[in-house]
Amino acid sequence: MCVDHAGKAWPPLVVINCAAVNEGLLESELFGHEPGAFTGASKRHIGVFEQAHGGLLFLDEIGDMPPNVQVKLLRVLQDGQIRRVGSEKTFQVSVRLICATHKPLDKLVDSGAFRQDLFFRVSGVPIHLPPLRERQEDIAWLAYRRVDVLNAKFNQSKRLDPQFATWAKVQPWEGNVRELFAVIDRAYHFSADCWVRWERSGLPCSERTHQAASVDAAATPEHLDQYLARIERDYLEKCVSDNKGQIVKAAYSLGISRKTLWEKLKRHKIKASAAP
């Protein structure tokens, strides 16, 4: 549970992956059960709907939910009441429901694998997230962000080779973000210096990859002074951000005077409050 700065608790966020739970236990995980409800049920179990009362419940992979549980979920969404397995008592719950699936629910409805009435219930505000290969503009941001996370975790200061992002844009990424992060993690841990390079990722540099890199380099030629200026700007932005915009602390960590830092920020057109 998250707590804000005033000490007030935020509503709970409860997550369950419907595909990761045994079909025979999914109903119990969702709605709970009483002692003796089935073999092995020695004590009361509170389901995720009760846990998320007053907050958010995220049902991941709802397309894998078996039909018998779909019926009971539909009843809960209609009435706002749940009944634990093995109990005759109902409980009123109030949750905001978020669902996700990698399967096309409309096609599952046509095949009879997913209830149409439940489909209408859970598709109030549908959001379609295209595969990563169709969101090339996100790949570079995700890659740089992943390296930042790994640096914070392992107390390192490695940097992503700019060509890594270029080559990553032409990959199919059938595993989407998970695959991208796995490749970056591998390249990060096997890097021989401070640079996270594609050659260390374990993926081949195909002819298509080299062509893409060549086109990108030809389209945006970069001289040494431009490259050094970009590196300095990136480092200054990171340092100011790490110090939460406090110029005195940022200058001290850089080993330069406050006046020098201000001049560099002005030259690179960096606003302390706008640094990422």
* Contact (Cβ atoms closer than 8 angstroms) between residue 144 and residue 180: no
Rounded to an integer, the average pLDDT of 227-247 is 81
Q: Report phi then psi at 171, rounded to 5.
A: -85, 150
Is residue 175 predicted with pLDDT exceeding 70?
yes
pLDDT recorded at residue 204: 58
The whole-angstrom distance between residue 1's C-alpha and the CA centroid of its chain comes to 18
pLDDT recorded at residue 270: 79
Q: Is the dihedral of CA 22, 93, 1, 35 positive or negative?
A: negative
Is residue 266 predicted with pLDDT exceeding 80?
yes
Q: What is the pTM of this model?
A: 0.63
Confidence of residue 222 (pLDDT cuts 50, 70, 90): low
Output the CA–CA distances (angstroms, integers) from residue 154 to 19, 141, 151, in the order listed: 32, 20, 5
Confidence of residue 228 (pLDDT cuts 50, 70, 90): confident
Rounded to an integer, the average pLDDT of 247-268 is 88
**Beta-bridge partner residues of 97:** 57
Between CA 123 and CA 146 the distance in angstroms is 31
Condensed to tens digits (0 to 9), the pLDDT of residues 124-173 reads 888 888 999 999 889 989 999 999 999 999 998 888 888 888 888 888 99
Structure tokens belonging to residue 86: 């093995």
pLDDT recorded at residue 2: 40
> What single-letter amino acid sits at 251?
A
Rounded to an integer, the average pLDDT of 250-261 is 90
Q: Give the list of residues 6+ apart from residue 143 with CB closer than 8 angstroms, or none.
A: 160, 164, 165, 168, 180, 184
pLDDT recorded at residue 232: 83
Structure tokens belonging to residue 237: 């932005």
- How many CB atoms lie under 10 A from the CB of residue 58? 17
Q: Give the list of residues 6+ apart from residue 135 with CB closer than 8 angstroms, or none.
A: none
Structure tokens belonging to residue 83: 């009944």
Residue from 155, 149, 154, 146 nearest 201 by CA: 146
pLDDT recorded at residue 1: 37
All domains in the chain, ordered by first residue: 13-122 (3.40.50.300), 131-221 (1.10.8.60), 222-276 (1.10.10)
Confidence of residue 4 (pLDDT cuts 50, 70, 90): very low
Between CA 63 and CA 153 the distance in angstroms is 34
Tell me whether residue 266 is exposed, middle or buried, using C-beta atoms within 10 angstroms of its C-beta: 0 to 12, 13 to 18, 19 or more. Answer: exposed
* Contact (Cβ atoms closer than 8 angstroms) between residue 272 and residue 265: yes
Rounded to an integer, the average pLDDT of 3-13 is 60
